[in-house]
Amino acid sequence: MVTAIATINLKGGVGKSTMTAALAEFMAGHFAKRVLLIDLDPQTNLTTMMIGSERWQELNESHRTIKALFEQALDSDAAVFDIERAIQRDVSPLAKVIGIDLLASSLDMIEISEEVAAWQYDDQNSLEPLSVLKNAVDKIKDNYDYILIDCPPNMGIVTRNGLMLADAYVIPTIPDVLSTYGIPQIQKRVSMFSEKSGHSLKALGLIITKYRKSTNLHRFTINRLQGAVLDYDATAPQDRTTSERPPNVIPFWVPDAITIAGAAAYEDVGTLSKRYGGGDTFDTLRDLTEHVMTNAKIYT
């Protein structure tokens, strides 16, 4: 059965799209899973990582991006969105990695987001504006083992479409003050979304990105995040000041490595090891991916 996982952070620059791509490529390239990537972020970073800018331009001009799906939902006279035609097959730049498909994003998603938000405002009790993506993907989801949804760095209507499809979510974050500041807000907004929509989803944890083991701030921040979970679990239910359990810190911390930053380039370097760095970095990404898959199956 397919499992859909959203990646969310309210702050940009935390490695969210790169981490989504890495999870997909390890799922497919190392664990032989079928993966659908859905890029909801108008920055299109995940899209260009997986298919390059020229191919993205062709898709955008031929109305085969996520934008066209929302256009159809907003305008009955718009061209019919054909999800089979929009999906790009075997999209990794690594020729040896097969099994990853993509629904591409568009730079024009910013304007579309405003129109969908206005639609929801006009019909606040309807789930239809929240279900545009889910209704389309439900038709083809059983072709995959995992669906990974790269959400915009906000909790707007497009992100909520991603959550409506998702079974679980992860929060990639740099272990510093600014990147982790919005984590309680993410949990609160997801909880509010679940209450309103009736669709619950599981927090699989924090993915630590760009970790520098020589940086005291990074070690202190991770200890603080882990301590918040332990403190919550040790507190009697009636004494808890928040009903939301802080997310676990997934125990595989992705280093701030040049190879991982360079993985954003659309280039066939041959192997996963060369794309993301060998040795400990490769092992960390492999173990992280296995942890996410295992926990997603257990808790969703």
Mind listing the pLDDT tens digit for each residue in 32-71?
Answer: 999 999 999 999 999 999 999 999 999 999 999 999 999 9
Give the confidence band of 120 by pLDDT, cuts at 50, 70, 90.
Answer: confident
| C-alpha span between 172 and 160 (Å, rounded) | 18
> Average pLDDT over the chain, rounded to whole?
93
| C-alpha span between 287 and 270 (Å, rounded) | 21
**pLDDT over 80 at 81, yes or no:** yes
The model's pLDDT over 186-234, given as tens digits with 9 standing for 90+, comes to 999 999 999 999 999 999 999 999 999 999 999 999 999 999 999 999 9
| C-alpha span between 205 and 164 (Å, rounded) | 18
Among 14-28, 180-194, 257-271, where is mean pLDDT lowest?
257-271
Whole-model pTM: value is: 0.95
Task: Give the number of residues written for the chain.
Answer: 300
| C-alpha span between 130 and 164 (Å, rounded) | 7
Q: Which fold has domain 3-299?
A: Rossmann fold (3.40.50)
Residues near 215 by Cβ (< 8 Å), separated by ≥ 6? none
pLDDT for 125 equals: 77
Would you tell me how many other CB atoms lie within 10 Å of the CB of residue 198? 7
Give the confidence band of 111 by pLDDT, cuts at 50, 70, 90.
Answer: confident
Look-up: residue for tokens 């930053």? 261
Copy the structure tokens of residue 180. Answer: 């982790």
Copy the structure tokens of residue 192. Answer: 């509010």
Would you tell me how many other CB atoms lie within 10 Å of the CB of residue 200? 13
**pLDDT over 70 at 300, yes or no:** no
Give the confidence band of 241 by pLDDT, cuts at 50, 70, 90.
Answer: confident
pLDDT for 45 equals: 95
Residues near 172 by Cβ (< 8 Å), separated by ≥ 6? 7, 9, 14, 15, 16, 19, 206, 207, 209
Would you tell me how many other CB atoms lie within 10 Å of the CB of residue 172? 25
Q: What are the structural domain ranges in the chain?
A: 3-299
CB contact at 8 A, 201 and 169? yes
What angle do helix axes 109-122 and 66-74 make, rounded to 10 degrees?
Answer: 30
